[in-house]
Amino acid sequence: MIISIASGKGGTGKTTVSTNLTLALGDRVELLDCDVEEPNAHLFLKPEIEQTRRVETPVPKVDLEKCTFCKKCQEICRFNALAVVGKQVLVFSELCHSCGGCMLVCPEKAISEVGRELGVLNFGNRDGIRFINGLMRVGEAMSPPLIKQVRANANPDKITLIDAPPGTSCPVIAAMNDTDFVLLVTEPTPFGLHDLKLAVEAVKLLGIPAGLVVNRADLGTDDVYRYAEQENLPILLSIPFDRRIAEAYSRGKLIVEEMPEWREKFVGLFEQIETIVNRSKAQLCANS
């Protein structure tokens, strides 16, 4: 099972939920931190990093001695990563999406590929819990290719939890796509509700079952709860605005460590997700 923990906005407690759920479930799970622009799950889970691997993506390199400057590579590139200017071919590698189309259409076979660094993957372990995160190279513009590399290293024999980036743009879609369940984390504030609506619409487009965790649940208004009821979005867990939880977070500690009674609540959260996923799969089988 693959569960993506996402949120419409930053600061709702997404990493809090993903790391505590990971520790509550123990060595049957792995945590993939796909917030590659600013990963922070390791600060709370504290895994021992065992391996670091550099990640590259292929980008075109043009042999000007073979090139006839026919502009076919420029014409096929929808991202404008190549431009033929006189007797030069300019390659804007930061815009390249590594599709390989330019190589296919080049009649002179003048285009080859070289690697461009995206960032690194870190592999770690804590008490049998497998951990992977990605860290983008400073100055890199596109995070989805690195997110896909993080996900490509998932272990299919474990329950995979994905700590997704905040927002609803391409990086979030890369973290949510092809998962079994999306666990949305929000807060009962106007900003939380606004961005939750965007996230829910994105999940609907992907056709993935979803549920909701409300963090700092006793603040703000009831609008989030009314919206969840309107959208038939089940609220699977509410986390109160508790000083002890805030203090644990500020020290880089996990709720399930500092307040053991919460371990059972996070296990219960997973059991609810498991029930929804199994029901959804059974319904798909019945309809097929």
Distance in angstroms (rounded) separating the CA atoms of residues 207 and 92: 35
Kindly report the CATH number that applies to the domain delimited by 2-55+118-287. 3.40.50.300
SS (H, E, C) the chain: CEEEEEECCCCCCHHHHHHHHHHHHHHHEEEEECCCCCCCHHHHHCCEEEEEEEEEEEEEEECCCCCCCCCHHHHHCCCCCEEEECCEEEECHHHCCCCCHHHHHCCCCCEEEEEEEEEEEEEEEECCEEEEEEEECCCCCCCHHHHHHHHHCCCCCCEEEEEEEECCCHHHHHHHCCCCEEEEEECCCHHHHHHHHHHHHHHHHHCCCEEEEEECCCCCCCHHHHHHHHCCCCEEEEECCCHHHHHHHHCCCCHHHHCCHHHHHHHHHHHHHHHHHHHHHHHHHHHC
Say what the alpha-carbon torsion angle 205, 210, 216, 219 is, to the nearest 10 degrees.
60
46, amino acid identity: K
Evaluate whether 165 touches 171 at the Cβ level (below 8 Å): yes
Q: What ranges do the domains of the chain cover? A: 2-55+118-287, 64-109
Task: Show pLDDT as tens, one digit a residue, over the chain (288 residues).
Answer: 999 999 877 888 999 999 999 999 999 999 999 999 999 999 999 999 999 999 999 999 999 999 999 999 999 999 999 999 999 999 999 899 999 999 999 999 999 999 999 999 999 999 999 999 999 999 888 899 999 999 999 999 999 999 999 988 899 999 999 999 999 999 999 999 999 999 999 999 999 999 999 999 988 888 999 999 999 999 999 999 989 999 999 999 999 999 999 999 999 999 999 999 998 888 878 877
How confident is the model at residue 218, as a pLDDT?
Answer: 86
Angle formed at CA 151 by CA 150 and CA 152, multiple of 5 degrees: 95
Q: 166: which 2 tokens?
A: 């905040």
Distance in angstroms (rounded) separating the CA atoms of residues 236 and 194: 20
Evaluate whether 174 touches 200 at the Cβ level (below 8 Å): no
Partners of 269 in the β-ladder: none
Assess whether the region 2-55+118-287 and the region 64-109 belong to the same CATH fold: no
pTM for this model (two decimals) = 0.89
Rg (Cα) of the chain, in Å, rounded? Answer: 22
64-109 topology per CATH: Alpha-Beta Plaits (3.30.70)
110, amino acid identity: A
81, amino acid identity: A
26, amino acid identity: G
